[in-house]
Structure 1
Amino acid sequence: MTVQGDIEEDARPSDGLTRSTIYLVASCLLLYMLSTFLRNSVGVIAPDVSRELDLNATELSRLVSFFFLSFALCQIPVGVLVDVFGPRRVILGSLAVMLAGCAVFATGTTYVQLAVGRLIIGMGCSSFLMAPLAVYAHRFSPSRFSTMIGIQMGGGMVGMLAATAPLASAAATYGWRSVFWAAAIAGLVVFLAIALSMKDEAPRQPRKKDKIGKLLRSSFAGLGQVIRMPGFAPVMAMQVITVGPSSVILGLWGGPWLHDIYGMELVERGNTLLANGALAALGTFLWGMSDRRFKSYRKPILIGSSVTFLFLLALTFTKIPRGILPFFLAGLGFFGAFGPLVFAYSRSLFPKEYVARGLTLMNTAQIGGVFLHQAMTGYLIDFYEPVMTESGPEYPLQAYQLVFGLLAAEAAIAFLFYWRAREVYPKG
Structure 2
Amino acid sequence: MLFKLFLPFAFGYFLSFLYRVVNVAIAPDLVQEFGLNANQMGLVSSAYLLTFALCQLPLGLLLDRYESRKVSAALLLIAALGSLVFASADSAVGLLIGRGLIGIGVSACLMAAFTAYANLLPSEKLPLVNGLQLMAGGLGVISASTPVQWFLTWGDWRLLFQGMAVASVLASVLVYSLVPKYEISSNGQGLKQQLAELWQVVKSPSFYQMAPISVATQGVFGAFVGLWSGYWLRDYLALSNTESAQIILTMAVSMTAGFVVLGWLAASLQRFGVNAYVVSVSGMLVYMLSQWVIINEWSQWHHLWWGLSGFFGTSGVLMYAYLSQSVPKDLVGRTNTSLNLCVFVVAFLCQWGLGIVINLWPADAMGVYPQTAYATAWFWALGLQVLALMWFVYNAIFSKLR
The alignment of Structure 1 onto Structure 2 pairs a total of residues equal to 393
Assess if the C-alpha contact under 8 Å between 1:29 and 1:155 holds in 2. Answer: yes
Q: 1:268 aligns with which of 243, 251, 275?
A: 243
Q: Does 1:103 align with 2:84?
A: yes
Pairing of 1:148-297 with structure 2 (within 5 A): 148-198=129-179, 200-202=180-182, 214-215=190-191, 217-291=192-266, 292-293=268-269, 295-297=274-276
Structure 1 CA distance, aligned partners of 2:43 and 2:12?
A: 25
Q: 2:374 aligns with which of 400, 404, 409?
A: 400
Aligned-pair distance for 1:306? 1.3
- Once the two structures are overlaid, the 10-residue window that deviates more, 264-273 or 95-104, is 264-273
Instruction: Determine the structure 2 residue equivalent to 1:410.
Output: 384
Instruction: Determine the structure 1 residue equivalent to 2:71.
Output: 90
SS at match of 2:365: strand
Aligned-pair distance for 1:267? 3.5
Aligned-pair distance for 1:261? 2.7
Instruction: Determine the structure 2 residue equivalent to 1:301.
Output: 280
Structure 2 CA distance, aligned partners of 1:350 and 1:202?
A: 19
Structure 2 CA distance, aligned partners of 1:166 and 1:122?
A: 22
Instruction: Determine the structure 2 residue equivalent to 1:127.
Output: 108
SS at match of 2:42: helix
Deviations 1:301-341 (A, max 9, x none): 232111111111123323753xx212221111112111332
- Once the two structures are overlaid, the 10-residue window that deviates more, 229-238 or 62-71, is 229-238
Aligned-pair distance for 1:175? 1.3
Aligned-pair distance for 1:345? 2.3
Q: CA RMSD in A?
A: 2.4
- Once the two structures are overlaid, the 10-residue window that deviates more, 238-247 or 134-143, is 238-247
Deviations 1:220-273 (A, max 9, x none): 433332333224332121121232343222211122222223333433322221
Aligned-pair distance for 1:368? 1.4
SS at match of 1:30: helix
Instruction: Determine the structure 2 residue equivalent to 1:4.
Output: none
SS at match of 1:84: coil
SS at match of 2:154: helix
Structure 2 CA distance, aligned partners of 1:225 and 1:206?
A: 16
SS at match of 2:139: helix
Aligned-pair distance for 1:203? 7.0
Aligned-pair distance for 1:155? 2.4
Change (3 A) 1:235 1:203: closer
After TM superposition, the score normalised by the length of structure 2 is 0.91
Q: Does 1:139 align with 2:113?
A: no
Instruction: Determine the structure 2 residue equivalent to 1:12.
Output: none
Deviations 1:380-399 (A, max 9, x none): 1011111112xxx0011111
Assess if the C-alpha contact under 8 Å between 2:17 and 2:137 holds in 1. Answer: yes
Assess if the C-alpha contact under 8 Å between 1:315 and 1:401 holds in 2. Answer: no
Deviations 1:283-306 (A, max 9, x none): 011111222237232332232111
Write the letter of the residue equivalent to 2:314: A
Q: Percent of aligned pairs with the same residue?
A: 26
Write the letter of the residue equivalent to 1:34: L
Structure 2 CA distance, aligned partners of 1:204 and 1:303?
A: 36
Structure with more of its chain in helix, by fraction: 2
Change (3 A) 1:233 1:85: closer
Structure 2 CA distance, aligned partners of 1:274 and 1:225?
A: 41
Aligned-pair distance for 1:178? 1.6
Q: Does 1:374 align with 2:351?
A: yes
- In structure 2, the gaps of 5 or more residues are 398-402
Write the letter of the residue equivalent to 1:406: W
Structure 2 CA distance, aligned partners of 1:338 and 1:347?
A: 16
Change (3 A) 1:226 1:139: closer
Assess if the C-alpha contact under 8 Å between 2:206 and 2:323 holds in 1. Answer: no
Instruction: Determine the structure 2 residue equivalent to 1:14.
Output: none
Aligned-pair distance for 1:156? 2.4
- In structure 1, the gaps of 5 or more residues are 1-19, 424-428
Pairing of 1:317-356 with structure 2 (within 5 A): 317-318=296-297, 321=300, 324-350=301-327, 354-356=331-333
Assess if the C-alpha contact under 8 Å between 2:223 and 2:348 holds in 1. Answer: no
Q: 1:365 aligns with which of 329, 342, 354?
A: 342
Change (3 A) 1:219 1:377: farther
Assess if the C-alpha contact under 8 Å between 1:316 and 1:402 holds in 2. Answer: no
Structure 1 CA distance, aligned partners of 2:172 and 2:329?
A: 32
Write the letter of the residue equivalent to 1:332: S
Write the letter of the residue equivalent to 2:277: R
Deviations 1:173-208 (A, max 9, x none): 21122211121122233223223312x524769969
Aligned-pair distance for 1:65? 0.7
Aligned-pair distance for 1:80? 2.4
